[in-house]
Amino acid sequence: MVAMLRLTRCTHTPMQPSPPPASLDFALLQQTLPSQGLRSRRTLWLLLGMLLLVIASVVALVLYLQNFERAEENRRRVVDGQWLEQSVRFHFTRLEEDLLVLARQAVAGTPQSGPATLQGGLLWSEPGAVLWHGWWPKHLSSTAHTWPHTGPVNAQSHAANADTLASMLDVAVGLRRAAYGGPLKHADGTPSDVVWLTVPFFERGQYMGAYVASLSMQASVNGLVPRWFHQQHVIKLIGEGTDPLPDSEADDLSTLLVPMNLPGTDLFIEMAPLTTQPAVVPRIFLAVAILFLLGMLASLLALRRDMGKRQQVQAMLQAQVALRTAMESSVTIGLRAWTRNGQILYVNEAFCRMVGYTADELVGQSAPLPYWPPDHTDELNAVHLGIISQGTEHTGVEVQFQHRNGKRVDVLIHEAPLTTASGEQIGWMSSILDISERKRAQQVADVQQQKLEASGRLVAMGEVASTLAHELNQPLGALSSFANGLVNRLHSHSITLDEVVPVVERMAKLSERAGSIIQRVNAFARRRELSRQVLDLPAFIKRVTAASAGAPGVTLLPLPDEGRLWVQADSLLLEHVVLNLVGNALDWAAKGHAASPQVRMWLDLDHAQQTASFNVADTGPGVPEDDRERIFSAFFSTKDGGMGMGLAICRSIVEAHHGRIDVTRDPDLGGAHFVIWLPLTAPPTPDT
């Protein structure tokens, strides 16, 4: 097979990439591999562990904050209690010092100073705190009647009060320090808030007497505790027989008993915070930590979502790769990718089978390629450079490759730009179709066509012979009749010279007609170019059928649009068709069952199809339906003695004019109805 190279390129515009296909569903291919499932489960467990760690961290922070706040509250309560205890001790010590000053003044004989003249401490100045005070000389006995009767609670109110005060005085003198007695009891035995304070005075080691004072402990406590402390705490004096604070005001965890530490008494101050002051800094720390943990949780969720999307994309890519791999393995079209420098990047299995080389042998190769025929290297290199620079047209490029075993392979190459994700072209993607079988089939078809053409020429020769016999029968018969008649009259000397001239002229016309028939049929048989010209179809029909239209029973209906219906046709061949159809109608009209034979001719116009039709109908027996398909075939005739070539030639002529011919039964006349359609054309210009 001679190597041929044919480059089918019209312009230099490269093939444009087709639009991206619609999204495909790869669900059936997205089957999770065991390793992928194990990896996904590990990732899921890792995320769950991190989520549990976040939750545990939040819970631990909350518990820590609660414990911290509880410890801070206890510490604050203890600090407040210590402050209250120190404040009580300080103010009562100051009161003892104030009474000692009064005792010194009493011994010195100075007039007794009242509350208004003594610059005492807080308790001395607090209204209602000191109920009574006075000097107690050393010679005065300590009996119920000697103690002053001040207030509702005094030494005479209850039998135990005098003993309490006597013990207080003995302790103060014996220990040489201030002593307290009480609280005194009411007449019914219930304790009161009245406590007596004794401050002994010694001069040069000699007991001179004591300064005593009656104190209201409730007023004292209210006076020594500042207002801001009252706003934050519930304060209550607790002694023997005194009920603690109710549960509505304080609980067991927040209540604190502060000892007053007054010698000779058993009094406490019960303290409970009114409001809990939360620790601001730990709460801010917790809020920030929770925000960070929530951010971490959101990050985990976003990471999980992102991992899910990545897994979906990965599964989609794997499915697409699997699908494309299966497609590449199943197609018979060779695929080849190469750079813009001509270096091969990729070949599929079909291409490898096409040229007989493996992918490892081809990838990385550049021109000249190993599958190029040695005798066509220069031509293929030129085509190769043209493809690299411009690509191919949609018709592709036909070249010839050489298989490794030496067999030549005809291929058709189409190129498409190979681009990156950013749209930058890095090379070309080739689809290579093996057309060797098609070439061989085309060669076989060409041989068959030549045989058919030879057979056609033989048939044409038969058609020419039959047509000549059919068409020349009448003019030759007329010539024979005229010649015999002229010879007979010449022999009988019954014709003059003037009478001979018309007969000879008529014979000359018949011979010219026979010659034109021979030329027309010979030209049609040779399939030469038709002598086309623009014809006025109504005028042409009127001229050709003029001789027949005057015969009895022949009617030419009014022709429409005369001068406006134009067809492009060979007038001689079209005249032959019209005369043949009219002649057949005249022959068959008399063979029908009508009383008077009739032939009707007319023209129709189809504006939608832009065609004009010539119709011929008769009153003959018509064409049977079984014969309508064969009546236009060669050598088929329903006429006695017919050769069966007339209608076959008519069909060939009409089809050569891009028209068609058909036969039906006419509904009015009842016989055959032949119709030919011819395409209309534009009217002739003055130049034509």
Q: Is the alpha carbon torsion for 87, 90, 92, 98 positive or negative?
A: negative
Which residues lie across from 384 on neighbouring strands? Answer: none
Kindly indicate the confidence band of residue 642, based on its pLDDT and cuts at 50, 70 and 90: low
Q: For 163-181, what is the mean pLDDT?
A: 83
Nearest to 592 by CA among 666, 645, 662: 666
pLDDT computed for residue 10 by the predictor:
38
pLDDT computed for residue 249 by the predictor:
47
Q: Is the pLDDT of residue 561 over 60?
A: yes
Range among 153-167, 398-412, 507-521, 643-657 rated most confident: 398-412
CB 383 within 8 A of CB 368: no
pLDDT computed for residue 246 by the predictor:
53
Tell which wins on pLDDT, 123 or 635: 123
Q: pTM surpassing 0.75?
A: no
DSSP string, 350-391: HHHHHHT--HHHHTT--SSPTTS-GGGHHHHHHHHHHHHHH-
392-442: pLDDT as tens digits: 777 788 888 888 888 888 888 888 888 887 888 888 888 888 888 888 888
pLDDT computed for residue 636 by the predictor:
67
CB 95 within 8 A of CB 197: yes
Q: For 340-349, what is the mean pLDDT?
A: 85
Q: Tell the burial category of 367 from Cβ atoms under 10 Å away from its Cβ (0-12, 13-18, 19+).
A: middle
349-393: pLDDT as tens digits: 888 888 889 888 888 888 888 888 988 888 888 888 888 777 777
Tell me, letter by letter, the H, E, C secondary structure of 573-625: HHHHHHHHHHHHHHHHHCCCCCCCCCEEEEEEEECCCCEEEEEEEECCCCCCH
Tell which wins on pLDDT, 65 or 614: 614
pLDDT computed for residue 643 by the predictor:
62
Task: For strands 554-556 and 599-606, give the pairing.
Answer: parallel
Q: Is the pLDDT of residue 491 over 50?
A: yes
128-169: pLDDT as tens digits: 888 888 888 877 766 656 777 776 777 677 777 777 888 888
Which residues lie across from 270 on neighbouring strands? Answer: 236, 257
Kindly indicate the confidence band of residue 21, based on its pLDDT and cuts at 50, 70 and 90: very low
Residue 350, CA atoms < 13 Å, CB-side half-sphere? 18
Instruction: Tell me the average pLDDT of the chain.
Output: 77
Report residue 141 CA to chain centroid gap: 110
Kindly indicate the confidence band of residue 38, based on its pLDDT and cuts at 50, 70 and 90: low
577-589: pLDDT as tens digits: 888 888 888 888 8
Nearest to 656 by CA among 538, 524, 516: 524
Q: CA 71, CA 461: separation in Å to the nearest integer?
A: 127
In the chain, the domains with their CATH numbers are: 81-273 (no CATH), 331-434 (3.30.450.20), 443-526 (1.10.287), 533-679 (3.30.565.10)
104-115: pLDDT as tens digits: 888 887 554 444
Q: Is the pLDDT of residue 218 over 90?
A: no
User: Which residues, 6 or more positions from 358, have their beta carbon under 8 angstroms from its beta carbon?
Assistant: 352
Tell me the one-letter amino acid at 216: S
pLDDT computed for residue 4 by the predictor:
37
Nearest to 95 by CA among 261, 219, 215: 215
Min mean pLDDT across 6-20, 87-101, 282-296, 623-637 is at 6-20
pLDDT > 90 in the chain, percent: 3
Kindly indicate the confidence band of residue 674, based on its pLDDT and cuts at 50, 70 and 90: very high
- Bin 512: left if φ > 0, else alpha if -120 < ψ < 50, else beta: alpha
Min mean pLDDT across 110-114, 153-157, 195-199, 636-640 is at 110-114
Q: Is the pLDDT of residue 2 over 60?
A: no
Residue 602, CA atoms < 13 Å, CB-side half-sphere? 11
Min mean pLDDT across 160-164, 256-260, 305-309, 640-644 is at 640-644
Q: Is the pLDDT of residue 461 over 70?
A: no
Q: Is the pLDDT of residue 247 over 60?
A: no
Q: Is the pLDDT of residue 20 over 80?
A: no
Q: Is the pLDDT of residue 267 over 90?
A: no
Kindly indicate the confidence band of residue 678, based on its pLDDT and cuts at 50, 70 and 90: very high
User: Which residues, 6 or more positions from 196, have their beta carbon under 8 angstroms from its beta carbon?
Assistant: 164, 165, 168, 180, 181, 182, 184, 212, 213, 214, 215
- In the numeric block, the tokens 């104030």 are attached to 98
575-633: pLDDT as tens digits: 888 888 888 888 888 788 777 888 999 988 888 888 989 999 998 888 888 777 777 77
